[in-house]
Structure 1
Amino acid sequence: MTREILAEAAVWVTRLHGPDRSRAMERECLAWQAQSTAHRLAFERCTDTWQEVGGLSRAQIQAAVEVRRRVAPLRGRAGRVAVGLAMLCLAAVSVVLLWPGHTYGTGVGEQRMIILADGSRMTLNTSTEARVRLTDSQRTVTVEHGEALFEVAKDAGRPFVVKLADAQVVATGTAFLVQSSPPSQAAEGFGVTLIEGQVIVQRSAGSAQGEPRAPVVMAPGERLRVALSPGAARQTASQMRVDRPKLDRLLAWQRGFAIFDETTLAEAVAEMNRYSTVSITLRDPQTFKELRIGGTFRTGDNEAFAQALARLFDLVVTPRDGGLELARK
């Protein structure tokens, strides 16, 4: 198991032993453990450590973190126990909570939840990279590419800012989803979906004269999507629109699924390819333009998805260059 997983497990243990424990929290913890064997073993190790040292409150854990940050001694038994747990079980928390900046990432088909030092939660979807920097005046996350769900702890004096593409999303306590494609892709752009609370999306200057764009104040349920022009033209040309998508469809990846509703075959294949190293390609894509698909499919199993498409549309599946090719009979 990695140091980061061990740190996340330690935070789960402290939350479950705190005053805010609830059935919803317990279900979330069980779901986190079910993500992998490493998660389950890390939780068991931290639970054993907690029992061995007699249990600590979240305040004591934060005290241990503060000690490491300020390099000042703790006094009394509580301090000694807190530092002991930090050394035994939370060795990685110094990385997660104390560094002024840290980069987190996921591979193909991987999801990962990170609990930040301020109590905010950041859940990364497949193939995502994000840089975190927490200071006394501002909490900043830069999403280089991929998809991330943010559940922001309230702190009116310290705004939470997510930077992506040519924009920044500013919040104080809310939940929202961001998607950002890497600059190397032809269809570069980003999306922001507000789940609850309020966020302000501020984009950079929109012309050669540096005239600022008007900020977009979003309401719950809204999604802002921006398509950027490639290269130097991106500052002057972009397409922006706001809609209200089905949130359960957008967040289905947290449960390991993709939901399609009258989705083109090309779009569905592209979405499923995000979660698998076994890529599906379409031979002569123009012949598939009229095909639409609906339903719920498990991500990461492209072989099963390709076979389902073959049965549904009477296609042929052929292994090709380590992936799968779909063609008409």
Structure 2
Amino acid sequence: MWLVSLHGPDRNRAMEDEFRAWQAKSPAHREAFEKTTDVWQAVPNTQAARDHMASIAQRPVREPVRARGTPWRWAAAAACLSALVVGGAVITQQWREQGVYATVVGEQRSVLLDDGTRMLLNTDTRLRVDYGAKQRTVEVAGGEALFEVAKDAARPFVVRVAGSEVVAVGTAFSVRFIDSPKHDDALTVTLIEGRVNVRPTVGGGDSLAPKEAVVLKPGDRLTLDHNARARAPVVESKVDRPNIERAMAWKRNEIAFQDTPLAGAIDEINRYSRTQVELSPEVQQANLDVSGVFRTGDSASFANAVALLHGLKVRENNGRLELEKFR
């Protein structure tokens, strides 16, 4: 059971690699693990679990009887599993009703909604789904997600993010919202097929939204960003046509760079791992760039490849990987 293994004392790098490979085999694997995790974390807060543990506490205290060859810790595990089973059905229902879906750093998650729409959440993403009789709404708090929208002309599919609305009927598009000064593309909408209309949200306030509605064609990418150089808050908007395969490489657990400034590439790599890559002050001033395809979540391989490309060395520093020049 992956949940037990990853939270146990024997967790190691090989186990984490094997776990990622298992997740990559099937979206169903990722979704099953997420549901199990949600249940595991929420069970102690359910009334069913509290009642179950209270009943155990009221039982007469007896001397523990240990079966030969069975460590005592399995008895504790059995009690936890019992509580998990008791509360599991309750929590699973609550999990579905809330409509909240999220991923942690380095994780992806595939979700099939009731109407047949499929969502693929990228690393460190949080969103909420709210389906009504006249409209299907998804609110993205942050991160990146791909939406393959089931057709329903009577109920438009609307993604709300950072003061903008992406309106579709039946189409495929991705939304990315990175609320960080390190990223130039604070909000991007990339249309893969179909048609979408990007417009300001009513009452959006000081947010990332186009001045007027923008209609995207397949292959278009809309980028909205605050102009940091302007005296007053100004949202800059541009539409370009990127290489879709490269832009959506994250679906394959890859990142593709083409003459990308090294600092920007590192910002992107760091989204997928808690092992952060950094540049020494000297390397920052060198204005280096990088091209290639790299595996998400593998910061060490990326750092070593960049070091080999530019004649740098990798130094470990408090759990971080720093790229610096040879002295």
Question: Scaled by the length of structure 1, what TM-score is found?
Answer: 0.68
Aligned residue for 1:307?
304
Write out aligned runs for 1:36-55 (5 A): 38=33
Which residue does the alignment assign to 1:133? 130
Letter aligned with residue 156 of structure 1: A
- Counterpart of 2:47? none
- 2:245 alignment partner, one of 245, 248, 271: 248
Structure showing greater Rg: 2
CA contact (8 A) 2:28 2:110 kept: no
Superposed CA RMSD: 3.5
More divergent stretch after superposition (302-311 vs 145-154): 302-311
Task: Map 1:1-329 onto structure 2 (within 5 A).
Answer: 31-33=26-28, 38=33, 94-95=93-94, 99=97, 101-182=98-179, 189-204=186-201, 213-228=211-226, 236-284=233-281, 285-289=283-287, 291-329=288-326
Amino acid at match of 1:194: L
Give, in angstroms, the shift of residue 116 of structure 1.
Answer: 1.0
For residues 248 and 302 of structure 1, do their structure 2 counterparts lie closer, same or farther at Cα, with a shift above 3 Å needed?
same
**1:32: how far off?**
2.0
Q: Deviation digits for residues 182-202 of structure 1, max 9, x if unmatched?
A: 378785720000000000000
- Structure 2 counterpart SS, 1:254: helix
Kindly indicate whether the alpha-carbon contact (under 8 Å) linking 2:185 and 2:223 is maintained by their aligned counterparts in 1: no
In 1: Cα distance, 2:25 partner to 2:277 partner: 32
Residues 188 and 228 of structure 1 are in contact (CA less than 8 Å); yes or no, is this contact kept in structure 2? no
Deviations 1:149-200 (A, max 9, x none): 0000101010110011120100111000000013787857200000000000
1:309: how far off? Answer: 1.0
Distance 1:308 1:213 in 2: 42
1:72 aligned partner: none
Q: Secondary structure at 2:305's aligned position in 1? A: helix
| Partner SS state of residue 278, structure 1 | coil
Gaps of 5+ in 1: 3-28, 43-88
Paired amino acid for 1:292:
D
Determine if contact 1:96/1:116 at 8 Å carries over to the other structure: no
Would you say how many aligned residue pairs link Structure 1 and Structure 2? 253
Which residue type is aligned with residue 312 of structure 2?
L
* C-alpha deviation, 1:221, in angstroms: 0.3
> Is the Cα–Cα contact under 8 Å of residues 265 and 288 in structure 1 kept in the other structure?
no
| CA distance 1:310–1:36, shift in 2 (3 Å) | farther
Q: What is the CA-CA distance between 1:286 and the residue it aligns to?
A: 3.4
Counterpart contact for 1:188–1:229, Cα < 8 Å:
no
Secondary structure class of the residue paired with 1:123: strand
Aligned amino acid, residue 218 of structure 1: L
Runs of 4+ in 1 over 6 A off after TM superposition: 89-93, 183-186, 205-208
For structure 2, the 5+ residue unaligned runs are 3-23, 38-87
User: Does the Cα contact within 8 Å between 1:225 and 1:241 map onto a contact in 2?
Assistant: yes
**Distance in structure 1 (CA, Å) of the matches to 2:303 and 2:100:** 34
Once residues 27 and 235 of structure 2 are traced to their aligned partners in structure 1, the CA distance between those partners, rounded to angstroms, is 38
Q: What residue identity is the alignment partner of 1:31? A: S
Task: Describe the shift of the 1:207–1:94 C-alpha distance in structure 2 as closer, same or farther (beyond 3 A).
Answer: closer
Tell me the alpha carbon deviations over residues 237-269 of structure 1, each in whole angstroms, 9 at most, x when there is no partner: 111100001111111111111111111111111
TM superposition shift of 1:214: 1.9
Which letter does structure 1 place at the counterpart of 2:263?
A
Q: Which amino acid aligns with 1:105?
A: A
CA positional deviation for 1:298: 0.8
**1:323–1:94 Cα change, 3 Å:** same
Cα distance in 2 between the residues matched to 1:177 and 1:37:
23
What amino acid is aligned across from residue 288 of structure 1 in structure 2?
Answer: A
The 1:227/1:298 distance shift into structure 2, 3 A limit, reads same
